[in-house]
């Protein structure tokens, strides 16, 4: 059982380039999340999704886009990469029964992204 899988693990981008960070979970979880973690800091929520076709902004959504066409996949898109987006990106999921708040989150191993 793979859990939450993120690809790639590492990436270096030039300013202005675009890329998609992939996230897949095989636990049939409804809720999925994208966080970023800047050096020495905690995690901040970028976007989240409560099911296929439904997404919403978190604390720091500017410069990112997401889509959720299937339950399993929740890709994060950077359209015009900027140095301020250098960070470690974590994807997470949880079952989401009822209002979905009383279940633990499961995290991927992260994607380390550098924008130069």
Partner 1 sequence: GIQVEQSPPDLILQEGANSTLRCNFSDSVNNLQWFHQNPWGQLINLFYIPSGTKQNGRLSATTVATERYSLLYISSSQTTDSGVYFCAANTGGFKTIFGAGTRLFVKA
With CA atoms as reference, report the closest residue to 30 among 107, 96, 105. Answer: 96
* CA–CA separation, 47 and 35 (whole Å): 7
Q: CB-wise, 16 or 53, nearer to partner 1?
A: 53
**Residues in contact with partner 1, shown as a per-residue x/- string from 72 to 111 under the rule CB under 8 A:** ----------------x-x--------xxxxxxxxx-xx-
Question: How would you write 29-86 as a 3-class SS string?
Answer: CCEEEEEEECCCCCEEEEEEEEECCEEEECCCCCCEEECCCCCCECCEEECCCCHHHC
31 binds partner 1 (CB under 8 A): yes
Q: CB-wise, 17 or 109, nearer to partner 1?
A: 109
Q: CB-wise, 44 or 77, nearer to partner 1?
A: 44
Residues that bind partner 1 (CB under 8 A): 31, 33, 35, 41-45, 48, 50, 56, 58-59, 88, 90, 99-107, 109-110, 112
């Amino acid at each position: 059982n793979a859990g939450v899988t993120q690809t790639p693990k590492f990436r270096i981008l030039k300013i202005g380039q675009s890329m998609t960070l992939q996230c897949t979970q095989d636990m049939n979880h409804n809720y999925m999340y994208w966080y970023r973690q800047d050096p020495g800091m905690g995690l901040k929520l970028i976007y989240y999704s409560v099911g296929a076709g439904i997404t919403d902004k978190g604390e720091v959504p500017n410069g990112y886009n997401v889509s959720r066409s299937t339950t399993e996949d929740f890709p994060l898109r950077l359209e015009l990469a900027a140095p301020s987006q250098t960070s470690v990106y974590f994807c997470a999921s949880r079952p989401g029964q009822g209002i979905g708040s009383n279940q633990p989150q499961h995290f991927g191993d992260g994607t380390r992204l550098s924008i130069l």
